[in-house]
Amino acid sequence: MSALNSSKVRLGIIGVGNMGSGHIANILAGRCPEIEVTAVADINPARLDYARSKIPEVAVFNTAEEMLDSGLIDAAIVAVPHYFHPKYVLECFKRGIHVMSEKPAGVYTKQVREMNEAAKSAGVVFGMMFNQRTDCLYRKMRELVQSGKYGNIRRTSWIITNWYRPQAYYDSGAWRATWSGEGGGVLLNQCPHNLDLWQWICGMPSKVHTHMYFGKWHDIEVEDDVTTFVEYPNGATGTFITSTGDAPGSNRFEITMDGARILADGRKLLLTELEMPEPEFSRTNKSAFAAPPSKTIEVETDGRNEQHSGVLNAFAAAILRGEPLVADGTEGINGLTISNAMHLSAWLGREVEIPFDEELYYSELMKRVKTSRRKDDVQAVFSDTSGTYGGV
């Protein structure tokens, strides 16, 4: 379908929590000139009152379905807790409504795979809110890796521990950091962006071996400290380390290739180029302690980092003019596959190959859901509920 007004996309927001209200703020600030918020849906009356206070003319609904059936929107953002992302994306598909899903795509790949199958015949624009793909550092890293100039990837390493959260963060919502409410911890809440970027830049690993700690630094039941070792199909290896308990944390992403090392550390992007690719140097060099000569430069980028507004502007352009999305919705399964493999590896205490047994993962997850401290969520998550769960 196309937007009713050729110059504006009429947007509805499902869930007016932290993310939903953030999108409202960006749109009202004029950062998304081709989008207007015409409706919102949330089960929390206070969040509907908030939306009215910001947009007096906005239509408010107690359930997502009512909003989707209202005829007042051309597109929707799904900004509810993780388990409900596929549910409401599918509801949009059924009605021919364009849809942007917040990250992650869902909690388990079996659920997301069904959503992606439905997307093939939905006939609508389906995007994923992977706003970190707009960051000039990561776009440049991807460009350097995919240029072919530096040969194959040999090793990747991402230490991403600047996701620090105090206990007050987890206490701010009863659904937070529970198996039934959120489906995971730092991997499902904070790291979907990093996992997406990791595979977007470096490709998907084929094997995963993870050590994971649950409630190590906080009074929570899900993971808040993770160390993972991966192997890639070409024999390269990688590590991914994350936590919400490190203060101060780090953000250091390093990729070693045959002919270069690419390092993003904070806001700097450094490129160390070898004068000769390592395989050629090792084959031809005759000195026992020699190393390939190299030079390091700070890489210039275009400086653009449009974040959420950039993703929404591309979403509007895709609806109105058929232009490319920042991230197609079906790509959300990639980072989630890595995340699920990490959990499964930790639960089983062994290496897991990708693709993994999705039924086994689901079974293991459900064991934890059934004993979750947020027990009232279990019925809500795993029954056919009506209405919006509430914003995040």
* pLDDT at site 1: 42
CB 188 within 8 A of CB 82: yes
- Assess if residue 319 is contained within a domain: yes
Is position 366 within any domain? no
What pLDDT, on the 0 to 100 scale, is given for residue 375?
52
Tokens encoding 300: 């210039």
Domain assignment of residue 35, given as a range:
9-132+307-329
Whole-angstrom distance, CA of residue 63 vs CA of residue 40: 9
Rounded Cα gap, residues 288 and 272, in angstroms: 22
| d(C-alpha 345, C-alpha 210), whole Å | 6
CA distance 67 to 216: 41
User: 3 in a domain, yes or no?
Assistant: no
Check pLDDT > 90 for residue 390: no
154-163 pLDDT, tens per residue?
999 999 999 9
In a domain, 383, yes or no: no
pLDDT of residue 382: 38
- What is the residue-averaged pLDDT of the chain? 94
In sequence order, the 6+-apart residues with CB closer than 8 A to the CB of 128 are: 100, 101, 103, 105, 327, 328, 329, 331, 332
Q: 289 burial class (0-12, 13-18, 19+ CB within 10 angstroms)?
A: exposed
- CA dist list (Å): 129 to 23, 82, 304, 334, 362: 11, 13, 17, 14, 24
Which two tokens mark 374? 């947020």
**Does the pLDDT at position 64 exceed 90?**
yes
Contact present, 241 and 186 (Cβ < 8 Å): no
User: 3-state DSSP: the chain helix, strand, coil percent, rounded to 5?
Assistant: 35, 25, 40
- Residue-level pLDDT at 174: 87
315: tokens are 């979403």
pLDDT over 50 (residue 347):
yes
Distances (CA, A) of 3 to 33, 180, 271: 14, 37, 44
Whether the per-residue pLDDT at 331 is higher than 80: the answer is yes
Average pLDDT over residues 267-296: 97
Instruction: Please state whether beta strands 9-14 and 75-78 pair in parallel, antiparallel, or not at all (unpaired).
Output: parallel
Is there a domain that residue 160 lies in?
no
What's the structural domain count of the chain? 1
Mean pLDDT for the stretch of residues 163-190: 95
Is 59 inside any structural domain?
yes
> Does the pLDDT at position 274 exceed 50?
yes
pTM: 0.94
What average pLDDT does range 181-186 have in this prediction? 96
Whichever domain contains 98, its CATH number is: 3.40.50.720
Q: Which residues contact 220 (CB under 8 A, 6 or more apart)?
A: 170, 176, 177, 178, 185, 214
- How far is Cα 385 from Cα 33, in angstroms, rounded to an integer? 35
Query: What is the reported pLDDT for 155?
Result: 98
How many alpha carbons lie under 13 Å from residue 133 in its C-beta half-sphere?
Answer: 24
Residue 82 lies in a domain: yes
The mean per-residue pLDDT over the stretch 96-121 comes to 98
Q: What string of H, E and C letters represents the secondary structure of 36-69?
A: EEEEEECCCHHHHHHHHHHCCCCEEECCHHHHHC
Q: What size, in residues, is the chain?
A: 392
Q: What is the pLDDT of residue 373?
A: 85
